[in-house]
Amino acid sequence: MRIYISVDMEGIAGVVHEDQTNPVDPRCAAEYARFRKLMTGEANAAVEGALAAGATQVVVNDSHWDMRNLLPEELHEAAELLSGGPKRLSMLEGIERGFDAALFIGYHARAGTPRAVLDHTIMDAVRDVRLNGRSMGEVGLNAALAGAYGVPVAVVSGDRATAEEARALLDGVETVIVKEAVSRHAARSVAPAVARRLIRDGVATALGRPHSPLSPASPSTIEVDFTFSYQADYAELVPGSSRPGPVTVRYTHADFCELFRAWRAFYNLARAE
Ligand code: ZN
């Protein structure tokens, strides 16, 4: 059994603020150093759960910010680490090599979700993303990409809002709730040691039953709303895209992997100023 693990940081137990997940601002260095350790701990808990379920190969993809957060020296020795960027498939780089299931650990709710820790979709400039008319965040877009390669998402861990988002989208997915938001920057969380136990057990249980991939329609259409029109001005440079509104860009393709590429190009171009 081959297992793919994508690890983000906002949904790790105890995390409530960007200062704890910011790898670049020197003022955040001390906080960040503690929380990347907790992130590595939850990644390892997922590896342990996968091994308990009979995994023979485990790939862990660092999926947060510059994607150099997980501590290699602390990684479970049964796993391989995919670190750094840019990566063509970003949070799911390598998924195309073929896996029996994917696990999304430390994930967060999509932009605009009420009572969700650090809700966002890739970056602040993205206000909403719709796939075939349905609002989606990183859980949904990445699940659709995994589905395009025939890989089901078996487990999603994060706060309660993330779990609800995942369950609404993915039939039979196992969700592991490690915290509940009080506001965007406050939460009631289980202790990290408890979170690791919940993740390990949740993964082992989930991998004992079959899961079906989310199959994106063909053709599919993605629409992205940005905050400012100049961001859409840049994004619409993607060949084949259209501009249905002042801050909105749209792209349609029969091949979901091409559509995902356009989405990656949209938000990276929108960063230009
Ligand atoms: Zn992140």
Q: Which of 103, 107, 54 is nearest to 78 (CA)?
A: 54
Q: What is the whole-number distance in angstroms between the Cα of residue 22 and the centre of ligand 1?
A: 9
From ligand 1's centre to the CA of 91, what distance in Å?
Answer: 9
Residue 8 has pLDDT above 80, yes or no: yes
Tens digit of each residue's pLDDT (9 = 90 or more) over 155-176: 999 999 999 999 999 999 999 9
pLDDT in tens, 14-30: 999 999 999 999 999 99
How far away, in angstroms, is 64 Cα from ligand 1 center? Answer: 4
Give the catalytic positions in this structure. 120
Q: Determine contact, residues 226/270, Cβ cutoff 8 Å.
A: yes
Which residues have a beta carbon within 5 Å of ligand 1, which is an ion? Answer: 8-9, 64
Contact 143, 169 (CB under 8 A): yes
pLDDT score for 189: 98
**pLDDT at residue 57 above 80?**
yes
Q: How far is the CA of 58 from the centre of ligand 1 (A)?
A: 21
State residue 267's pLDDT score.
Answer: 97
Encode pLDDT of 107-143 as tens digits.
999 999 999 999 999 999 999 999 999 999 999 999 9
Q: Please tell me the distance between residue 107's alpha carbon and the centre of ligand 1 in angstroms.
A: 7
| Tokens standing for residue 86 | 């840019």
Q: For residue 9, name the pLDDT band (cuts at 50, 70, 90).
A: very high
| Overall average pLDDT of the 237-264 stretch | 98
Question: What are the pLDDT digits (tens) for 196-237?
Answer: 999 999 999 999 999 999 999 999 999 999 999 999 999 999
DSSP 81: E
pLDDT value of residue 272: 87
Q: What number is the average pLDDT over the span 166-188?
A: 98
| Residue 273 pLDDT exceeds 80 | no
Burial class of residue 215, CB neighbours in 10 A (0-12, 13-18, 19+): exposed
Share of the chain above pLDDT 70, in %: 100
